[in-house]
Structure 1
Amino acid sequence: MTHRAITAPLRWGLRENLPQFLLLVAVNALVGATLGQERTVLPLLATEEFGLDHYSGALTYILAFGLAKAGANYLAGTLSDRHGRKPVLVAGWVLALPVPVLLILAPTWGWVVAANVLLGISQGLTWSTTVVMKMDLVGPHRRGTAMGLNEAAGYLGVAGTAMATGYLAEVYGLRPAPFLLGAAFIALGLGLSVLLVRETRDHARHEPGGAEAPDRKGRSDREVFVLTSFRDRSLSSISQAGLVNNLNDGLAWGLFPVLFATAGLPLGQVGVLAAVYPAVWGAAQLVTGALSDRWGRKGLIVAGMLTQALALALIAAGSSFPSWLGAMALLGLGTAMVYPTLLAGIGDVAHPLWRARAVGVYRLWRDGGFAVGALVAGITADALGLEVAVIIVAALTAASGVLVALRMRRNDHLPTPALHTPRGT
């Protein structure tokens, strides 16, 4: 295979690429903020302005978002391997431009669903690409730290915007003020990506150890999909845990604001509860990502899934702002233990030549959890009540942690070329 000439020497490592790495951190914070414009407002918009009384109907926008983002994640990996990372990143921002307009002007719920299809595609392209670009820059070491910084920025962006839009909705109404903030974030993210972000694909192609490692001729898209989804013990364990994790997040996004509001909490407190979960999630990843580099991936993933299950049970049992505040913070902590660790685990096992596609497959399954969560939680909540739906999701989360404990290999975080040949069951 012939690659274009490299005009400047490539360097790998967080410190060696710090300016570009920090720029990508800022870009991903804006990606998260773009998603955060919906976290507090849309569940309330569904019930208050569009009169969607049934949980399953109100969650249609999360189903649409999850399916669109899952598909876009897969495409992002394939396209960025073939055409470069930066074009995919810029395309994702361009697709986000109409989203605030559609949400502000929406005369029917169908407009909201359409906006979330666009938002899901945009989030899949932008977030996946920033993940891959950071893996490219840091090389085979400190992937957990890099992913912790990336995901912390994204979810602190979600949290800050969720809280800000809750305040704006309380003072100015559900529309248009909260979505004007989202429009500003999209414009800034697009500008930074076009003008300042640099391509990183050559870092992956020439990563130290990558040329000598097995799989140097690459794998087909089908092979990468089967390995990541089913065949490799570690990759498939990570993929199922990611799906269940985002099943929880879909529940928290779509139903928890309704639960809190129907309990009589004011919009300001609903916004705080909607924000504290991604805030703890985001901030704690600054620690948990680095810890996974030292301690390994498996233990943190298992502990994180079990912590999330406990938090969900506490939310189902809660009835007041203080009890829910503690449970939502615990849910954020459990998610922080898992989120960057799962991504780093994919990077540990996948070869540099097909790592972007493996990340795309993992994120396909992970964000498919939004769609699964919308269906499971919505149908169960309609039939049996919201508290029962939360308990069922808690049980699924605990089972996922047990599966990781039984199936995932322990030492895949060690950066050796041998790890680039995934082993089957």
Structure 2
Amino acid sequence: MPRTRTVRADLVIVAGLVAATQMSWGVVIPVMPVLAETLDASVTDLGLLIALFGLGRLFANLPAGRLAERVNQKWLLLVSVVAVVAFMALSGFVTDLNQLFVLRVLTGIGGGFAVTVGNAFIASTTAPERRGRALGTLHAFQLAGGALGPSVGGFVAAWSGPTAAFLVSGAAAAAFAIAGVFWLRSPQRQHPSESIAAGEAPRRRQWLLRDRSMLAICIVGFAVFFARFGGQQFLVPVLAYDQAGMTEAQLGLVLGVIAGLNIGLIGVAGWFTDKYGRKAVIIPAMLISSLAFVGYSFASTLGAFIVVSAVVGLFTSIAAPAQVAYLADIAPVARQGSAVGIYRTFGDLAALIGPVVLGVLVEHHGGWAGVVTVSACGTVAAIWFWLRARRTRPVPQPEPAEQATAAVAA
């Protein structure tokens, strides 16, 4: 993590806000079927309720990125988180299914703003030589929030009912928002440091996706979200039950291995990213994790599933902070917010279509077709990135305490 007290406090608060937002989404996963049943919702309605959150995030990413370049990032982030808290609380008291549909979209929009602005905030207030560790810390908090959400939601709902779960889901976010009002600093400008690519400064373009490196990292982001939401969260459970005959508890163990590796190794991965460069980490990690995913086709026992999941989770976690750090390196200083918004739009699009595409493939051709598709998507993305993306390295800079503090001071 960054060394100065001011930067460290900002990172903890922003990471806490993003993690609490992710936890708010996960809390309602075990609760939503119960609430839908009380509103006489069908199975299709339930699927739509889950999808509408992602749709709201998809619509929010680009506007959030542009606004992050034009208004105070501190207050934009806090307002977004407060909106999530308010919409979640209202969702617990709905009396009509259409009301819940609207609130799910609004909650997704608020969540999309929070995550996009939070990433842009850290990217713009952290020097390039420490950006991988800082963004890795943010990503670890985000994963932890998402992993804790369903457990907290299930416990609270069983103890006090579904309405209480919606209310509790916003408590952590509200606490971090209050802390942010008093202790989160407002960055005046994007960090002046930029990275260099093969001795040449990144070129500024009006349309970011005309930059082949920007397009390449967005394709990588698409493949990563496709594998996470379509592969790990949809396809792996299907294979676990149908192919390996695993129980719910055993599947929980496998998913816990993936989540634990992703969270536990983020710090080490960020250090590797800052020391050896983003591209040097992204390419081998993506290739190994993508090729290892093929192992799920042959995993017919609990032990095999754990081994494959460990390898996939290990190299997925290594690549995670390098991807966002690379994005921050190549984006023009004044376009950090838009770059994050575009990257997350590619990812959320993959999260929406991934389960659908893989579901069709599994239904008509079997589980192996889904596994090969996930593996091929990641492999092609890694090769595309290898061939098209320029190499970046941080610009070394002195780091006196006054300079680091001024970079994030209001």
Question: In structure 2, what is the Cα distance between the partners aligned to 1:295 and 1:137?
Answer: 21
Is the Cα–Cα contact under 8 Å of residues 64 and 117 in structure 2 kept in the other structure?
A: yes
Q: Partner amino acid for 2:109? A: I
Equivalent residue number for residue 6 of structure 1: none
Structure 1: any 5+ residue segments left out of the alignment? 1-11, 418-425
Deviation readout 1:267-325 (Å, 9 max, x if unpaired):
44444444432332122111111211111111221122223323432334334444333
Q: Deviations over 1:19-55 (max 9, x none)?
A: 22222232233233223325677699999x96749xx
Which residue of structure 1 lines up, in the alignment, with residue 65 of structure 2? 77
Query: 2:406 maps to which residue?
Result: none
Equivalent runs, 1:88-237 vs 2, <5 Å: 88-97=76-85, 98-99=87-88, 102=91, 114=102, 116-165=104-153, 175=162, 179=166, 181-200=168-187, 202-204=188-190, 207=192, 223-224=205-206, 226-227=207-208, 229=209, 231-237=210-216
1:227-376 mapped onto 2 (5 Å cutoff): 227=208, 229=209, 231-251=210-230, 252-257=232-237, 259-260=239-240, 265-376=246-357
Amino acid at match of 1:415: V
Question: Displacement of 1:329 after TM fit?
Answer: 3.2
Q: Is this contact kept in 1: 2:235–2:370, CA < 8 A?
A: no
Rounded to whole Å, the distance in 1 between the matches of 2:46 and 2:236 is 12
Q: Please state whether the residue corresponding to 2:334 is helix, strand or coil.
A: coil
* SS in structure 1 of the partner of residue 129 of structure 2: coil
* RMSD of Structure 2 on Structure 1 (CA): 3.8
2:395 counterpart of 1:415: yes
In 2: Cα distance, 1:258 partner to 1:51 partner:
22
Range with bigger deviation, 364-373 or 382-391 = 382-391
DSSP 3-state at the match of 2:293: helix
Question: Residue 9 of structure 1 corresponds to which residue in structure 2?
Answer: none
User: Match for 1:372: what amino acid?
Assistant: I
CA contact (8 A) 1:72 1:125 kept: yes
Q: Is the 8 A contact 1:162 1:275 kept in 2?
A: no
Shift of 1:328: 2.9
Matched pairs, number: 387
Query: Which consecutive unaligned segments of at least 5 residues does structure 2 have?
Result: 398-410
Among candidates 10, 15, 27, match of residue 20 of structure 1: 10
User: Hey, what's the Cα distance between the residues in 2 that align with 1:173 and 1:399?
Assistant: 48
Question: Structure 2-normalised TM-score?
Answer: 0.79
- Contact 2:94–2:100 at 8 Å: present in 1 too? no
CA contact (8 A) 1:100 1:183 kept: yes
- Cα separation, 2, equivalents of 1:32 and 1:183: 10
Quick check: 1:31 aligned with 2:21?
A: yes
Instruction: Give the aligned residue type for 1:241.
Output: V
> What percentage of residue pairs aligned between the two structures are identical?
25
Structure 2: how far apart are the matches of 1:281 and 1:233? 28
